[in-house]
Chains A and B, each alone.
Chain A
Amino acid sequence: MSGLLDITNLRIDLGQARTPVSPVGPLDLTLDVGECLGIVGESGSGKSLTLKAILDVLPEGLVRGAGTLRVMEQGKWVEPAAKDLRGRKIGLISQEPGAALDPLMRVGDLIGEIVRLHSGCSRAESKTRAIDLLRQVGVPDPEKRATFWPHELSGGLKQRIVISMALACKSEILLCDEPTTALDVTIQAQIVDLLRDLQKQHGLGIIFVTHDLALIRQIADRICIMYAGLIVETGPSAEIFKAPQHPYTRALLAALPDIEASSGNLQPIEGTPPNPTDFSVGCRFAARCALATEACRAARPLLEKTERGTMVACFHAGVAP
């Protein structure tokens, strides 16, 4: 497989703090052509911030403190400015599709405008291209729907429109920030199906951020588990779900109710994730971890390769709890 996106040593800093505070990182991410990378974590783990840092749209006060971001451009790694990536190479699909659509434009015009901007074709031609794109993302009756206003569409259809806008930009990378959280489960399944089809047909690279472990199991080829701003475990999705090595990954799975099972106890994770201002020098999960020892509190474990082809950041990786 060929690479598409390569991020090394990414760190997000709190701008004004006197002592440096980094809610996220340092972390490395890579994405291949036609691959879906899943990032899972609880709220506050920094998974959404990571996506925002890629597009350089971090909330005020936060800055990208370090890290290089390279993308593959005609067989060569280049390091472009974020403004050349946004809306071109990289598209963003957010949790709230309504916020991504201009409420004062009909959806056909919304997509047509992007098509014109990128290809410089005529108004009439952009209109037919827009309808074609709507058909590609599975909008029923696209000729009629193109004349609708965003508020006339359901959540699922809005999300499809946003996806078609990313396709109109000829994006090669889709960043999906919890794109199905606001949707019903039957619609979620349809959107996940659509994303998978596009991934196959167009060779799209997708980074899919969610807190739903079962959903990530369905869609991602490779996953990163994030905790308190760091990746604690990463590797092929099937391997990680078969034999999770990090105590946090295991704890997450033990806390998850499974549709197949009606009995057995759910194991909550006691305590709360640390605040970015209280990050210790040691392992950030140590305070909630049953396996934690002095060594864990003294130094932070780094990601290391295991024989299963995954990478884990834990001194006690693989030890049965």
Chain B
Amino acid sequence: MNAWLKVENLSVDFPVGGTRRAPVLLRALRSVSLEVPKGTVFGVVGESGCGKSTLARVLSGLTAPTGGEVSLEGVPLGMHRSSIQRRRVQMVFQDPGSSLNPAMTVRTMLSQLLRFHQIVPKDRIEDRCRELMTQVNMPTDALDRKPGNLSGGQRQRIAIARALALEPEILIADEPTAALDVSVQASVLNLLQGLIRDLGMTMIFISHDMAVVRRICDHVAVMYLGRIVEIGKTEHVFTDPRHPYTNALMAAVPRLNPVPAGEYQMLKAEQPSPLANISGCAFRGRCPKAGSICATQNPDLAGKNQLVACHFPKGGTDA
């Protein structure tokens, strides 16, 4: 992978109680590093509370990191971005019902952005709005509607159009289809896939739905309790998971064609609280392979193509 968008040792702590001197910290991200090559779709999967949404928020500059850095083409991307930097990274949220202003028509929403960022000359704004609507497969008369008069799938298309208005290089999608029915989800996924291909954008796709990630992502990172436990090509990670947690996730995904028993191992307990102090490997409490070394030493991400953070990965530590 050639580094384009780079995340290095990113940590995010949220104070959730305690005193100012001794705050209780929720450690949402614990030293996360990853690299995203230009023009690919990068997926982040994990259970709720694993830090995947926090990662998305840091990337788009909505949450300040406690430590570490995000950089794009070697230039740091912090909380305070110039309008040009902001244009480069745009986000689509999970719930279009609450991320769109209910009092604005779609036209006001889009033209406001186009005017503020001076993306097109004033007399071209109306044309550009229409173009954007065509790009997201919406009729142009929807420009005069307000979000309340649109269906869930249509609202999500408007949210995508709003992100596209700034001609971003990176689109961050945080569970963009979680609130949609399966028949509508398919059309939004197809739309996103087409846009990425046609416009040459890079997309960070956050989801807990493994089947969706399998479908649209080139690379995938599996997160557990604020850490990345496995990262690699989607094809490899999903067909040959090396970390026991990835294996367990695959076991838990409901399938149309049931897999033979014994291929994957089910998990017993639940994910510990992100408030907990963790020594060693975060997954060891639920791990069928855990040994004594796991209690003392946190495994580093290692490997050649498919990086895995485990002392006893499937296929051995050298694979």
Instruction: Using CB atoms and an 8 Å cutoff, list the residues of chain A in contact with chain B.
Output: 42-43, 140, 154, 156-157, 184-190, 192-193, 211-215, 217-218, 241, 251-262, 265-270, 272
Contacts and interface: CB of A to CB of B under 8 A. Distances in A.
Nearest to A241: B256
Interface in B187-231: 187, 189-190, 208-212, 214-215
Contacts of A253: 256
Given A211-B182, A218-B258, A189 B190 contact: no
A259 B48 contact: no
A171 to B, nearest CB: 25
A45 B129 CA distance: 34
B215 A217 contact: no
B111 interface: no
26 contacts: A43-B181, A185-B208, A185-B252, A185-B253, A189-B267, A190-B266, A214-B255, A214-B256, A218-B255, A253-B256, A255-B182, A256-B182, A256-B186, A257-B186, A259-B238, A259-B250, A262-B215, A262-B235, A266-B186, A268-B183, A268-B185, A268-B186, A268-B187, A268-B190, A269-B186, A272-B151
Interface residues of B, number: 39
Given A255-B185, A266-B189, A268-B187, A218 B215 contact: no
Contacts of A157: 270
A184 B189 contact: no
A45 to B, nearest CB: 9
Contacts of A193: 266
B234 interface: yes
Interface of B: 47-48, 151, 181-187, 189-190, 208-212, 214-215, 234-235, 238, 248-258, 266-271
A257 B215 contact: yes
A189 B248 CA distance: 10
Given A255-B183, A265-B190, A186 B211 contact: no
A262 B234 contact: yes
B249 A259 contact: no
A154 B270 contact: yes
Nearest to A215: B254
A253 B271 CA distance: 32
A211 B181 contact: yes
Given A185-B249, A186-B267, A212 B254 contact: yes
A255 B270 CA distance: 31
B251 A189 contact: yes
Nearest to A41: B181
B210 A256 contact: no
Nearest to B177: A257
Contact of A184 (B48, B181, B255, B268): B48
Given A185-B252, A213-B182, A258 B210 contact: no
Contacts of A185: 47, 208, 210, 249, 252-253
